[in-house]
Amino acid sequence: MYIKTEQTDVLNWKLSFSGRLDLDGAGAARAALAAIPDKAEKIDIDCGELAYASLAGLRELLILRRRFPEAALRLENVRPRVLEALETAGFRDFFEITRAQERPSYTRQSFRDFLAQKRCEAGDRVAVVSEVGSHTWREIDACAERIAADLAKLGVRRGTHVAVCGRNSINWIYTFFAVQKLGAVATLINPGLTPAEIAAVADGGGAALLCYGEIAEMKDEAAFLKRITQASHGALSSFYSFRSAVDFRLRTAEPVCLPAEPVEADDPAVMIFTSGYTGTPKGVLLSSYGVLNASRGSAGNQRLTAEDRICLILPMFHIFGLVAGLVAGACANARLYIPKDIRTDTILELISRERCTVFHSVPAMLVALINNRRFAPEKLASLRCTIISATAATPAQMARFQAAMPANHFLSSYGLSEMAPVSITEYEDTDEHVMLTVGKPWPDIELKIVDRETGAALPTGADGEILVRGFSLMGGYYRLALSDQAIDADGWLHTGDRGYLDAEGYLRLLGRYKELIIRGGENVMPGEIECALAELDCVANVKVIGVPSDFFGEEVCACVVCRPGASFDEAAARAALSARLARYKVPSFFLVYGELPLLGSGKIDLAALKKDAVERIRRMQ
C-alpha cells in the first residue's frame, strides 16, 4: 500500500492510493488520513492505482467520512473492483465517485511464456508458410528449443547479447525465439550491411556471438565471416548458422536440457538499432512486455483474426516488421507467408495464389507492385488491410494505391524504433485522414507538441517537436552517455520529428529535425557517408542530404567541394563507397560545388543547399 498526500492549499487536500487497501495497508491509510487537519473543506482521493479495497480498508474511508461530514470528499478514477466493494458494503452514497476510464488489458508474458502458450493452445495450427513448407507452433517451439540448447553450449545465458542477422526466414523466427528461451537479448542486425558494418553494430550492441542466415553480401561464407572477425578485432569471434539450408526439424528428436533461468516480461529482450543526430547507430532496448502489448494492439487495429493470411515482406529486424507483422500475426493466430524474395513478381504471385488478406509495406514497394508489368487489380483483390509506415506516402501515391486496390483498408501510422506504433488511423477512417495524417495516439500513449527551443507545450494546430511516452517506450539506448539519452527527466521521448495535432486530435507530420534520410524504409545516416567521402583525396568538404523521390520517398545526394586543382571522379567515388557501405547508402546523386552555402553562424545552410540540389537534379533528369 502506497499513499501520497499533497496539500493544494490551506483547505484542500489531494491523496493518491496505490496497491491494496487491505488489512496490511489499513494502518498506513489511517495514519495518512489522520494527518489531514479538521478545517479541511475538500479532500480528493485518486484511486486510479488502487487495485483492491477490503472491509478493513473501507472502514478507514468510513472514518474519514465521519470526521468530515460536511466536506466535499471525492473518490476519483475508481476501478471496477473497488467500486464493487463500496457497493457491497453500502458505502457508495457516502462519497462523490468518478469511475476510472476503461484501460486496455496488458499481458505480462515473456516471449518464452508467449511461445509456450502458442504451443499449448494452437500447437498444431500452421503459423508460418515459407519456401521450405508449412510450420506449426509446435514445430516452431521444438526447433527454437533445439537452437537454444546449441546456443547454451556456446555460453549464452540470461542477459547475454546475441546478434541475429539474416533476411526473413523460418529459421530467423526459430532463432529469435531460441534467444528468448534463454532469457538472452536478441540484438537484431540488418542483413544488408557489409562485414565491417555488421562487426561495428554487433560490437555496439555488446554481442560476441553472431547467429547468421542469408546476408546480402555473403557469397563466400568462410571469407565473409573472416572479414567480420578481422573488422571486430576478434571481439566477434563466435558464429552460429541458421542459413536456409539448415533444417532444424531434423534435429528435434535430440535430447535438450536448457538452463532453468528466470525470465521476466520486462527484462531486456530485444535490441533494435536506429540512428540519430551523430550518425552513430544506437541500440534501442525493448522488453517483451512492450513488444507483445504493442503487437496485441496492432492486431486489434488491423482487425486480425485466425482467418487472415499475412504476406510478410517487412524485415523482422525492423520494429515495424516485428510488431505489426510477426508478433501481431502470432497474437491473432493469423497465418504468415514469407516469400522467397521480395521481387515484385514473387509478391504478386504469392498474394494472388494464397489469397493473402494483409500486406504491410512502405510506399516504394507499393509503387513498384503497381508498376510491375504483370500487375492487374485482381491479383491484389484479396487484400483488406495495409499499414503504410516507415516513410510517409504522398497524397498522389495514396490516390494511386486506393485506385489500384479499392477494397483495401489503408492505415497510416507513425512509430519509431524507440516506441512503435505511436499513432495510427482507424480502420474506417476517411481517405483524407489516411492521406494527410498518421492517425491518433494509441490508448495509454501520451503525445504532446512542444517548442523545440523552450520546451513549452504548444496548442492544437501549432507545429513543433513531437514528444511521446507510454507503456511501449524503450528502456533506453544501450551504453549511450546519459546526455545522449532521448528520454528526459519527465519520461518524455524527444523524437526529433516535427508535426502538429489538428482539431480532431489527428497527428500531422511535417518532417524531421534530424538529418536522418529514409530511403525506401531504410535509415541512412549522412554522417557515415560524409566520413567515407571525406577520406577521398579530392574532397575538401562534403554534405550529404536527402532529396525527394517519387519511388523511394528520399534519395541520397552528396554535395561535394573539391580540393584546389582536383577534380571529382564519380565512378571512383562510387567504387570506394561500395567497398565499405551497404548498397542503399551509396548516393544516387553526386553534385560538385565551388562552395557550400553558409548561414551567418558559419554552419551549412541546409535549406538553401537542398533547394539548389533539387533544382540541379531536376535539370539533369
Tell me how far CA of residue 47 lies from CA of 1, 26, 63, 65, 328, in angstroms: 12, 15, 17, 16, 32
pLDDT digits (tens, 9 = 90+) for 525-573: 788 898 889 889 898 888 999 999 988 989 999 999 998 889 999 999 9
Q: Which of left, alpha, beta for 488 (phi over 0: left; psi -120 to 50: alpha)?
A: beta
The rounded Cα 425 to chain-centroid distance in angstroms is 17
Last residue of a domain, one of 99, 126, 146: 99
Q: How far apart are CA 352 and CA 349, in angstroms?
A: 5
pLDDT of 601 strictly over 60 = no
198 and 210 in contact (C-beta within 8 Å)?
Answer: yes
Average pLDDT over residues 260-282: 81
Mean pLDDT score across all residues of the chain: 91
More confident call, 498 vs 339: 339
DSSP letter assigned to residue 487:
B
Q: Is residue 474 part of a domain?
A: no
Residue with cell 560545388: 593
Which CATH number goes with the domain that contains 7?
3.30.750.24
Q: Is residue 370 part of a domain?
A: no
Residue with cell 537484431: 188
Residue with cell 533476411: 167
Q: Does the model's pTM come out above 0.95? A: no
Length of the chain: 621
**Most confident stretch, 27-36, 356-365, 458-467, 526-535:** 458-467
One-character DSSP codes across 276-341: -TT---EEEEEEHHHHHHHHHHHHHHHT--TT-EEE--S-TTSHHIIIIIIIHHHHTTPEEE--SS
pLDDT of 325 strictly over 60 = yes
pLDDT of 579 strictly over 60 = yes
The rounded Cα 60 to chain-centroid distance in angstroms is 45
Q: How far apart are CA 251 and CA 142, in angstroms?
A: 9
314 and 327 in contact (C-beta within 8 Å)?
Answer: no
pLDDT of 154 strictly over 90 = yes
66 and 89 in contact (C-beta within 8 Å)?
Answer: no
The DSSP bridge partners found for residue 413 are 424
The three cell numbers of residue 322 are: 516485428
pLDDT of 1 strictly over 70 = no
- Which of the four pLDDT bands, split at 50, 70 and 90, describes residue 397? confident
Residue with cell 538529418: 515
Average pLDDT over residues 400-411: 91
pLDDT digits (tens, 9 = 90+) for 187-198: 999 998 899 999
Q: Which residues contact 76 (CB under 8 A, 6 or more apart)?
A: 44, 45, 46, 47, 48, 98
User: Which H or E run includes 56?
Assistant: helix 55-67
User: Which H or E run includes 126?
Assistant: strand 126-130
Q: Is residue 542 part of a domain?
A: yes
Q: Say what the pLDDT of residue 277 is.
A: 38
Q: Is residue 553 part of a domain?
A: yes
Q: Is the dihedral of CA 364, 397, 329, 345 positive or negative?
A: negative
Tell me how far CA of residue 559 lies from CA of 380, 555, 572, 586, 596, in angstroms: 41, 13, 16, 13, 8
Average pLDDT over residues 412-439: 92
Q: Say what the pLDDT of residue 591 is.
A: 97
Q: Which residues contact 524 (CB under 8 A, 6 or more apart)?
A: 516, 517, 518, 546, 556, 584, 585
Q: Say what the pLDDT of residue 381 is.
A: 95
User: Which H or E run includes 139?
Assistant: helix 137-153
Q: Is residue 136 part of a domain?
A: no
Q: Is the dihedral of CA 217, 221, 225, 230 positive or negative?
A: negative
DSSP letter assigned to residue 361:
B
Average pLDDT over residues 401-428: 92
The rounded Cα 272 to chain-centroid distance in angstroms is 8
pLDDT digits (tens, 9 = 90+) for 167-206: 999 999 999 999 999 999 999 999 988 999 999 999 999 9
3-state secondary structure (DSSP) of residue 61: helix
pLDDT of 483 strictly over 80 = yes
Last residue of a domain, one of 72, 99, 126: 99
Q: How far apart are CA 372 and CA 136, in angstroms?
A: 33
Q: Say what the pLDDT of residue 276 is.
A: 44
Which is it for strands 42-53 and 72-78: parallel, antiparallel or unpaired? parallel
3-state secondary structure (DSSP) of residue 270: strand
Of the ranges 112-121, 271-280, 437-446, which one carries the lowest mean pLDDT score? 271-280
Cis-peptide, bond into residue 262, ω within 30° of zero: no
- Which of the four pLDDT bands, split at 50, 70 and 90, describes residue 279? low
pLDDT of 291 strictly over 80 = yes
**Residue 31, φ and ψ in degrees, nearest 5:** -65, -40
Q: How far apart are CA 325 and CA 297, in angstroms?
A: 12
DSSP letter assigned to residue 393:
P
pLDDT digits (tens, 9 = 90+) for 34-83: 888 888 899 999 998 898 999 999 999 999 999 999 889 999 999 889 99
Cα torsion through 581, 585, 586, 588, rounded to 10: 170
pLDDT of 25 strictly over 70 = yes
The residue among 517, 581, 508 whose CA lies nearest residue 547 is: 517
Which CATH number goes with the domain that contains 521?
3.30.300.30
Q: Say what the pLDDT of residue 392 is.
A: 65
Q: Is residue 260 part of a domain?
A: no
Average pLDDT over residues 119-137: 97
The alpha carbons of the chain give a radius of gyration, in whole angstroms, of 28
pLDDT digits (tens, 9 = 90+) for 212-265: 999 999 999 999 999 999 999 888 889 999 999 999 999 999 998 898 889 999
Q: Say what the pLDDT of residue 170 is.
A: 98
- Which of the four pLDDT bands, split at 50, 70 and 90, describes residue 140? very high
The DSSP bridge partners found for residue 3 are 17
477 and 283 in contact (C-beta within 8 Å)?
Answer: yes
The three cell numbers of residue 576 are: 570506394
> What is the widest separation between alpha-carbon atoms in the chain?
92
What residue numbers bound the domain in which 56 lies?
2-99
pLDDT of 103 strictly over 90 = no
Tell me how far CA of residue 481 lies from CA of 187, 476, 478, 484, in angstroms: 19, 11, 9, 5
The residue among 401, 350, 366 whose CA lies nearest residue 521 is: 366
Q: Is residue 254 part of a domain?
A: no
Give the chain's domain count. Answer: 2
Q: Is residue 572 part of a domain?
A: yes
616 and 590 in contact (C-beta within 8 Å)?
Answer: no
Last residue of a domain, one of 37, 72, 99: 99
3-state secondary structure (DSSP) of residue 273: strand
605 and 599 in contact (C-beta within 8 Å)?
Answer: yes
Q: How far apart are CA 239 and CA 220, in angstroms?
A: 15
Per-residue 3-state assignment (H helix, E strand, C coil) for 512-566: ECCCCEEECCEEECHHHHHHHHHCCCCEEEEEEEEEEECCCEEEEEEEEEECCCC
